[in-house]
Chain A
Amino acid sequence: MGSYLVRRAIWTIVTIWAILTVTYFIAYLVPSDPARLIAGQHASAATLASIRRALGLYHPLWYRYLVYANQFIHGNLGYDFIMRRTVSGMVLQAAPYTFYLAVVAVAFELLIGIPIGIIAAVKRYSFVDNFLRFLSILGISMPTYWVGSMLLLLVGFKLGWLPLGGVSAPGVILPALSVGITGSAFYARILRSSTLETMRLDYVRTARAKGAGEALILFRHTIRNSLIPVVTYLGLDLGALLGGLIVTETIFNWSGLGFLLNTALGQDDGALIMGVTLFSASAIVIMNFVVDIIYAFLDPRVSYS
């Protein structure tokens, strides 16, 4: 167990390092001149040169990469000369909003996906099962941002039940629901097949043989076990979840990381694009690590070899 933990931790660090490196060299391709951004269009060549020297831009690429990596280790994502703020400051301000939205969105995914998966499994191979299967496939076929736009139009605007955007307690419902509707399909399908698998196991048959009612068998014996793959998928799904959040935050003016990224894209702000990407990707890798560790504690069958 201990060695498994250590190996997973080392691997997590290697992955984050790889992401840092790739991100840095991709972002380096952007022809941007921070000196120009600081001094403005009419600065003299001498002024620009002195600013560049002050920023260390005359150092070779590998040296600047090491400087950036060193800053990153210390939690510093650099300075954004367009927004005139530190990247870390903006990212850390936005992150809690994205986290909040993500938690509610996952809750909606499970709230919608779990009942559908169970019903489909109980009514397997029937019309209801086929219909739910079609609904699930339709769910993953709709763009999250379009579902969001439709909710905004119908529930927010036409019915006027919920706010059209901005950060507030009721304002979280529509964006989270957009992600929940499209994301729930995977959970429904995973739960359906794992429930079907569990239903065939011996201990379920034993329970039935002892005369336990079908409802009791389902909720007490079957579902508990068939929920395990759902937990696994929860960890794997974080990347896709983030993708959904990015576009949804844009629609609902939810000032999280996606909104920040969209702002950065709008003004070609390389430093900020890179900062948000790096932060989000690292966060996902770390959360995957945490999920793995929790999973290893919960399920002693996980192989540590």
Chain B
Amino acid sequence: MSLPLADRPNTPSDFAEEKIRTPLETAVRRFLKNRLAVFGLVLVIFMVVIAIIAPAIAPMSPYTSYPNGTTMQGLPLNPTWQWHHFFLGTDSSGRDEISQLLYGTTVSMQVGFMATAITLVIGVVIGLVSGYLGGMWDNIIMRVTDIFLAFPLFLFVILLRSVVTHPTVATVYTVIGVLGWAGIARITRGQTLAARKLEYVESARAVGARVPSILFKHIFPNIMGPVVVYGTLLIANNILLESALSFLSIGVPDPTVSWGKMINLGLSWYQTDPWLIVWPGIAIALATLGFNLLGDGLSDALNPRANQ
């Protein structure tokens, strides 16, 4: 007679199965069980795909002011629900709303990812170096970090962005990216201080590994988790920041389409054409929500105790 599966003693194969589950696999399993996190991942993938294929699927040009894009009185058109004919209506200049929304995804994702990449590279390097060197240098670097953290980021970004006379999309993500390094630098530094004392790092040093190799090959993989979580949440933040700058007319330059700019323009027409501020707002909220849910889920998956 065979025992029911659950009552069997641990067979070598069961044992092996337990054994081969790496921390990464455990994290993936935990992540996939979290429905909100998976929903976030789906949203993020959806947004990234739209951002890439926007030019191919946009039914009309987002830059063209169509002569038949406004009413006889020069007012925006209501949604027609016909894909190739002003599906979601037009703005006050007769430009197609849905095409602008699709192109806006590209700018949003571009700024979100690039600014975050810049921030992470600068912040992680500074944090690693500060934490590894310790002593006086660590002190100096951390004091500078404190000053950066004390300066309200949004004001700093506005100030630096306002002095650029010929901005491009790259200006916007560079300014956001370069100024945002202090937060992740402090996190990385704390993690590095802890990781520096781990035995395998000490043994790497003992066998004469060079400092960059110790930092990036041995310490960095150990602190990847917090960096990934922070980075994901930062993308969401940077998307919001870009849209806020564009809303204040100091974001991406014309004729580049941006969701924030669309809301700014639509705000002059909200009493007659409320949709002009509804659509882009939903787009921003969905994009940001995706990254926030994803980051939240990753944080739970990589550090299960964090949220109990």
Contact = CB atoms under 8 A, between A and B. Distances in A.
A46 interface: no
Interface in A183-221: 193, 196
Nearest to A125: B308
A172 interface: no
Given A140-B292, A193-B307, A277 B277 contact: no
Nearest to A164: B271
A285 B248 contact: no
Interface string B230-273: 00000010001001100111100000000010010001001100
Contact of A251 (B240, B267, B278): B267
A145 B263 contact: yes
Nearest to B237: A140
B159 A27 contact: yes
Given A26-B163, A27-B163, A145 B247 contact: yes
Contacts of B147: 14-15, 18-19
Interface stretch (B13-21, B24-32, B148-156, B216-224): B148-156
Contacts, number: 132
Q: How large is the interface on B (under 10, 10 to 19, 20 to 34, 35 or more residues)?
A: 35 or more
A239 B152 contact: yes
A265 B162 contact: yes
A146 B158 contact: no
Contacts of B292: 137, 140-141
Q: Max chain B CB contacts within 10 Å: which of A31, A149, A150, A243? A: A149
B186 to A, nearest CB: 13
Contacts of B59: none
B248 A142 contact: no
B244 A243 contact: yes
Contact of A143 (B159, B260, B267): B260
Q: Which of B146, B155, B249, B281 has the most CB of A within 10 A?
A: B155
A146 B147 CA distance: 31
B159 A157 contact: no
Interface string A31-53: 10000000000000000000000
A112 interface: no
B281 to A, nearest CB: 4
A243 B281 contact: no
A153 B277 contact: yes
A266 interface: yes
A242 interface: yes
Contacts of A242: 152, 154-155
Nearest to B267: A149
B170 interface: no
Nearest to B159: A277
A188 to B, nearest CB: 13
Interface string A77-93: 00000000000000000
A261 interface: yes
Given A19-B151, A137-B289, A196 B244 contact: no
Interface of A: 11, 14-15, 18-19, 22-23, 26-27, 29-31, 130, 133-134, 137-138, 140-146, 149-150, 152-153, 157, 193, 196, 238-240, 242-243, 246-247, 250-251, 261-262, 265-266, 268, 270, 273-274, 277, 280-281, 284-285, 288
Closest 8 CB pairs of A and B: A243-B154, A239-B152, A146-B281, A141-B288, A141-B289, A29-B163, A18-B147, A142-B285
Given A193-B307, A243-B154, 4 more contacts: A15-B150, A157-B270, A273-B159, A277-B158
Interface of B: 36, 146-147, 150-156, 158-160, 162-163, 165, 236, 240, 243-244, 247-250, 260, 263, 267, 270-271, 274, 277-278, 280-281, 284-285, 288-289, 292-293, 296, 307-308
